[in-house]
Amino acid sequence: MALMHKSNASNVLDITASLAHGPTMFNKLVNYTTPEVERMLRNYTKFVFVRHPFERLLSAYRNKLQQNYESSK
């Protein structure tokens, strides 16, 4: 699923940063009722992806200084 069906790009690298990091890209808990939130937090499997700090630093450098993304300004 390319970003919750909000992009029809066949290559994920063709998805713009402004779309991928947009504020409406993913559903948030505040969009659900209290009983739904409690059910999700109780029953869903939770996980976190963590990147190495140097990888994050390199990614930020490339995004902010090498690219011309609207989100980089």
Distances (CA, A) of 62 to 19, 20, 29, 65, 68: 17, 16, 31, 6, 10
**pLDDT tens-digit map of 28-69:** 889 999 999 999 999 999 999 899 999 999 988 888 887 766
Question: What is this structure's pTM?
Answer: 0.47
- Domain that includes residue 46, residue range: 12-72
In a domain? residue 2: no
Q: How many domains does the chain have?
A: 1
Paired tokens of 12: 């994920």
In a domain? residue 38: yes
How far, in Å, CA of 44 to CA of 29, rounded? Answer: 13
In a domain? residue 33: yes
In a domain? residue 1: no
Nearest by Cα to 6 from 16, 19, 18, 17: 19
